[in-house]
């Protein structure tokens, strides 16, 4: 059954933050010192709204002095500037493009990180980003949105004529189980080497298989 589209998680899967500062986490810690208890909805709010540091502080009722705001924004810039694409992701995308397989990114993230993803991964065919869509993985809507962008329909019909959509990421609930619930073949990436798939080139070779050769040809 031919693979027509491959969807990838972003952070920890296709890109990495080399200089982690966790500015939004720091913001919530400042709030805790001011007596604001962290809430279960905080993460969802950050990931499903277009919020920078200052606007998030206002929304959460956290007071920042000028030095605190400057420090958090500096740390955010450092994080953004340290984001790089994994070498195996670059090679995986190259092989998929050569094989004519559509690619996309599906990610839970805060809005400042989105433009960096689009710049670094500008050759992919679609982006489903939580802060733009107002929903997070594993909500089925985010997977269906990215499939709509790629003009593919996930399905569990395993007949020879069926088209197959696959996804991979470093979260079992979000990148393996969630996609499977809507007909996407989800796979778990374990970069520590403890799982079935340890890098994205291996994913292309194991899952997409013989249609993705180095020269872009199809094996008969």
pLDDT of residue 155: 76
Query: Residue 47's Cα: distance from chain center in Å?
Result: 12
In this prediction, residue 122 carries a pLDDT of 94
Q: Give the chain's domain count.
A: 2
Q: Could you identify the residue written with the tokens 């993985």?
A: 137
Three-state SS string over 15-76 comes to: EEECCCCCHHHHHHHHHHHCCCCCCCHHHHHHHCCCCCHHHHHHHHCCCCCHHHHHHHHHHH
Q: What angle do CA 84, 116, 62 make, to 5 degrees?
A: 110
CB 117 within 8 A of CB 107: yes
pTM of the model: 0.91
In a 3-state reduction of DSSP, which class is residue 130? helix
Q: Are residues 73 and 108 in the same domain?
A: no
Structural domain for 103, as ranges = 3-17+85-211
What's residue 207's pLDDT? 77
pLDDT at 134: 98
Residue indicated by tokens 């909500």: 139
- Going by the DSSP 8-state scheme, the letter that residue 219 receives in this structure is -
Q: What is the pLDDT at residue 220?
A: 36
- Contact between 133 and 34 under an 8 Å Cβ cutoff? The reply is no
Cα–chain center distance at 29: 25
pLDDT at 214: 40
- 58, 81, 104 - which closes a domain: 81
Domain identity same for 46 and 102? no
The domain boundary, picked from 81, 106, 126, lies at: 81
- Of 170, 168, 193, 190, which is closest to residue 180 (Cα–Cα)? 168
CA dist 130 → 9, 117, 151 (Å): 12, 13, 19
- Cα 149 from Cα 145, distance rounded (Å): 6
For 12, 106, 178, 191, the CA distances from 169, given in Å and listed in that order, are 8, 9, 11, 10
- Domain assignment of residue 219, yes or no: no
Give the whole-angstrom CA distance, residue 200 versus residue 108. 19
Q: Residues 46, 113: one domain? A: no
Residue 179 shares a structural domain with residue 114: yes
- 218 located within any domain: no
Per-residue pLDDT at 208: 72
Res 217: pLDDT: 40
Are 189 and 89 contained in the same domain? yes
Question: pLDDT tens digits, the chain, 220 residues: what are they?
Answer: 689 999 999 999 999 999 999 999 999 999 999 999 999 899 999 999 999 999 999 999 999 999 999 999 999 999 999 999 999 999 999 999 999 999 999 999 999 999 999 999 999 999 999 999 999 999 999 999 999 999 998 876 555 556 789 999 999 999 999 999 999 999 999 999 999 999 999 999 987 774 444 444 443 3
For residue range 59-96, what is the model confidence (pLDDT) as tens digits?
Answer: 999 999 999 999 999 999 999 999 999 999 999 999 99
């Amino acid at each position: 059954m031919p693979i027509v589209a491959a969807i990838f998680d972003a952070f920890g899967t296709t890109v990495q933050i080399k200089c982690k500062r966790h500015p939004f986490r720091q913001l919530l810690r400042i709030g805790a010192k001011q007596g604001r208890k962290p809430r279960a909805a905080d993460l969802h709010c950050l990931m499903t709204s277009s919020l920078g540091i200052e606007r998030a502080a206002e929304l959460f009722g956290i007071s920042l002095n000028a030095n605190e705001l400057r420090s958090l924004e500096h740390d955010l810039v450092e994080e953004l500037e340290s984001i790089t694409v994994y070498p195996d992701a670059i090679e995986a995308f190259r092989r998929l493009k050569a094989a004519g397989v559509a690619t996309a990114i599906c990610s839970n993230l805060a809005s400042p990180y989105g433009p960096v993803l689009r710049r670094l991964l500008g050759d992919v065919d679609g982006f489903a980003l939580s802060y733009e869509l107002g929903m997070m993985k594993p909500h089925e809507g985010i997977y269906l949105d990215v499939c709509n962008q790629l003009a593919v329909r996930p399905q569990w019909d395993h007949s020879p004529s069926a088209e197959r959509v696959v996804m991979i990421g470093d979260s079992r609930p979000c990148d393996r189980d969630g996609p499977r619930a809507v007909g996407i073949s989800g796979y778990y990436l374990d970069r520590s080497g403890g799982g079935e798939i340890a890098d994205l080139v291996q994913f292309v070779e194991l899952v997409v298989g013989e249609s993705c050769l180095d020269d872009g040809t199809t094996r008969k």
